[in-house]
Amino acid sequence: MDYQKIIEEVYQEVQSENKRGKVADYIPELANVNPDQFGIGLVDLEGNVFGVGDYEVPFSIQSISKVHTLVMVFHVFKSKLWSRVNVEPSGNPFNSIAQLEFEKGVPRNPFINAGALVITDALCSKFENPIEQISAYINELSGKSCVRINSSVKESEKNHAERNTALAYFLKAYQNFENEVDQVLDVYFSHCAMEMSCLDLARSFSFLANDGYSIFANREIVSESHARRINALMLTCGFYDEAGEFAFRVGLPGKSGVGGGVAAVMPHKFSIAVWSPELNEKGNSVKAIRALELLTDKLSFSLF
């Protein structure tokens, strides 16, 4: 399979269509990003890397980090974790307070903000230096030191944290929060403000295409069973309230972020990350979603 040729074709087609969206501006630092950047990085299970466009430019991964943090606690808390957070698509905005109240403080899934705050709280209970340990963990998955926390983005998120703070206090009111709200929010904003390139991000997701085994860390990260379940969560919950549309058009497990990135996997084949900052009305990258749709069309395979 000539992945380089295929992603170059995809890149050119997407560029020629020139679909436009809107850069996330509710985090002011993200509004300053050049909207014309676009990159695709793909890694196969032999460790071969393929890229086109701005695939080596670091960008703010935002909610994509929620996959990494979930993996860190997935096997540690076992069944207890799933009494604190559910595994259902939300069908509501990713920062909905009404849904959290309606469901008595148990978030719908780990990828909406309330669910990610529960996961981050669990990390704070488990690890002494969670920010450093999250960075080290992602670096290990990528097989290189590549994670950087953008302090300007982090401060920008902290300065516009009213809704996330409200979600955290809601969780605490329902006894679904063990640590101090400010501490957990600081860790949460830190991992959302991490920057990585498409290539490094694809490398960090590689184990999910390989039944839980990382060729870059040279060890099993999660069991085959856990890898399948994480992929199922990404397929059903990884794209805010556009997850069904993504499954229909693309058919790959993945996770998006409002920085314009999307990381996805084709089990037993490859991992891929695509980045372009302009978003659609659901908060997903216009060009990245289109690129992945074209990719699975050209490859003639998806999960389905």
Looking at residue 303, what is its pLDDT? Answer: 72
* Residue in this structure with the two tokens 């669910």, named with its chain if needed: 115
Residue 157 in marked binding region: yes
What mean pLDDT is predicted for residues 71-86? 85
Give the pLDDT confidence of 55-64 residue by residue, as tens digits.
Answer: 999 999 999 9
Residue 218 in marked binding region: no
Residue 11 in marked binding region: no
Per DSSP, the three-state class of 170 is helix
Residue 240 in marked binding region: yes
Confidence of residue 11 (pLDDT cuts 50, 70, 90): very high
Cβ neighbors of 274 (< 8 A, separation 6 or more) are 39, 40, 41, 198, 261, 262, 264, 285, 287, 288, 291, 292
Helices and strands, number each (H, E), in the chain: 12, 12
Confidence of residue 221 (pLDDT cuts 50, 70, 90): very high
Residue 63 in marked binding region: yes
At residue 93, does pLDDT exceed 90? no
Please report the domains of the chain, with CATH numbers, ordered by start residue: 3-299 (3.40.710.10)
Residue 164 in marked binding region: yes
* % of the chain beyond a pLDDT of 90: 87
* Residue whose C-alpha is closest to residue 109's, from 91, 78, 87, 92: 87
Per DSSP, the three-state class of 282 is coil
- Work out the mean pLDDT of the chain and round it to a whole number: 95
In whole angstroms, what is the distance from residue 139 CA to residue 217 CA? Answer: 9
Q: Which residue has the higher pLDDT, 304 or 272?
A: 272
Least-confidence region, from 223-227, 233-237, 238-242 = 238-242
Confidence of residue 266 (pLDDT cuts 50, 70, 90): very high
Give the pLDDT confidence of 162-203 residue by residue, as tens digits.
Answer: 999 999 999 999 999 999 999 999 999 999 999 999 999 999
In whole angstroms, what is the distance from residue 283 CA to residue 214 CA? Answer: 30
Looking at residue 75, what is its pLDDT? Answer: 78
Outline where DSSP puts E strands in 162-201.
194-196
Write down the pTM of the prediction: 0.95
Give the pLDDT confidence of 28-50 residue by residue, as tens digits.
Answer: 888 899 999 999 999 999 999 99
Q: Which amino acid is at 136?
A: A
Q: Taking the alpha carbons of 17, 29, 62, 97 in that order, is the dihedral positive or negative? A: negative
Which amino acids are annotated catalytic? 63, 66, 188, 240, 258
Looking at residue 91, what is its pLDDT? Answer: 77
Looking at residue 17, what is its pLDDT? Answer: 97
What mean pLDDT is predicted for residues 261-271? 97
Size (the chain), residues: 304
* Residue whose C-alpha is closest to residue 125's, from 157, 170, 61, 80: 80
Residue 164 near residue 118 (C-beta atoms within 8 A): no
What mean pLDDT is predicted for residues 99-116? 94
Residue 125 in marked binding region: no
Looking at residue 155, what is its pLDDT? Answer: 95
